Amino acid sequence: MYRSDLAEATGVPPGSLVRVIDQSGKFLGTALYSSSSQIAIRMISHGSVADLPALVAERIRAGIGYRKELVSNTDAYRVIFSEGDFLPGLIVDRYNDVLCLQILTQAMDAAPVREVILQTLREELQPAGIVERVDARIRELEQLPPLASRLLWGEKSSTVFAMNSTMNSGVRFLYDGLEGQKTGAFLDQRENYAAAAQYAHGEVLDVFCYQGGFALHFAGRTSSVTGVDSSRPALEMAEKNATLNGRELEWIEGNAFDLLREYAAANRRYDTIVLDPPAFAKTKRDLEKALGGYKELNLRAMKMLRPGGILVTCSCSYHVGVADFFEVVADAARDAHKSFRVIENRGAAKDHPMLLNVPETSYLKCLILSVSN
Ligand code: SAH
Work out whether strand 270-275 and strand 305-315 pair parallel, antiparallel, or are unpaired: parallel
Mean pLDDT of 294-322: 96
Average pLDDT of the chain is: 95
Q: Are 172 and 141 in contact (CB under 8 A)?
A: no
Residues 58-110 have pLDDT tens digits of 999 999 999 999 999 999 999 999 999 999 999 999 999 999 999 999 999 99
Is pLDDT at 360 greater than 90 in this prediction? no
The residue type of 243 is T
User: Ligand 1: which of 229, 313, 365 to mutate, judged by most atoms within 8 Å of the beta carbon?
Assistant: 229
User: Ligand 1: which of 95, 210, 252, 297 to mutate, judged by most atoms within 8 Å of the beta carbon?
Assistant: 210
Residues 44-57 have pLDDT tens digits of 999 999 999 999 99
Is pLDDT at 166 greater than 80 in this prediction? no
- Report the C-alpha gap between 125 and 22 in whole angstroms: 40
Q: List, chain by chain if needed, residues with CB within 6 Å of any ligand 1 atom.
A: 186, 189, 208-211, 213-214, 229-231, 234, 255-257, 276-278
Mean pLDDT of 211-222: 96
Assess whether 316 carries a catalytic annotation. Answer: yes
What was the pLDDT predicted at 184? Answer: 79
Mean pLDDT of 191-195: 97
Is pLDDT at 182 greater than 70 in this prediction? no
What was the pLDDT predicted at 284? Answer: 85
DSSP 8-state secondary structure symbol assigned to residue 5: G
- Report the C-alpha gap between 366 and 197 in whole angstroms: 13
How long, in residues, is the chain?
Answer: 373
Query: What confidence category does residue 303 fall into, taking pLDDT thresholds of 50, 70 and 90?
Result: very high
The residue type of 299 is L
Q: Are 197 and 317 in contact (CB under 8 A)?
A: no
Is pLDDT at 281 greater than 90 in this prediction? no
High-pLDDT (> 70) share of the chain, %: 98
Mean pLDDT of 228-236: 96
Mean pLDDT of 352-365: 93
Is pLDDT at 325 greater than 80 in this prediction? yes
Mean pLDDT of 222-245: 97
| Cβ partners under 8 Å of residue 172, min gap 6 | 160, 161, 162, 241, 244, 245
- Report the C-alpha gap between 152 and 156 in whole angstroms: 10
**Whose CA is closest to atom 22 on ligand 1?**
255
High-pLDDT (> 90) share of the chain, %: 91
- Report the C-alpha gap between 170 and 216 in whole angstroms: 10
Name the catalytic one among 209, 314, 316, 366. Answer: 316
Q: Where are the alpha helices (DSSP H) in the chain?
A: 52-70, 106-109, 111-125, 136-141, 190-197, 213-218, 232-244, 256-265, 287-304, 322-336
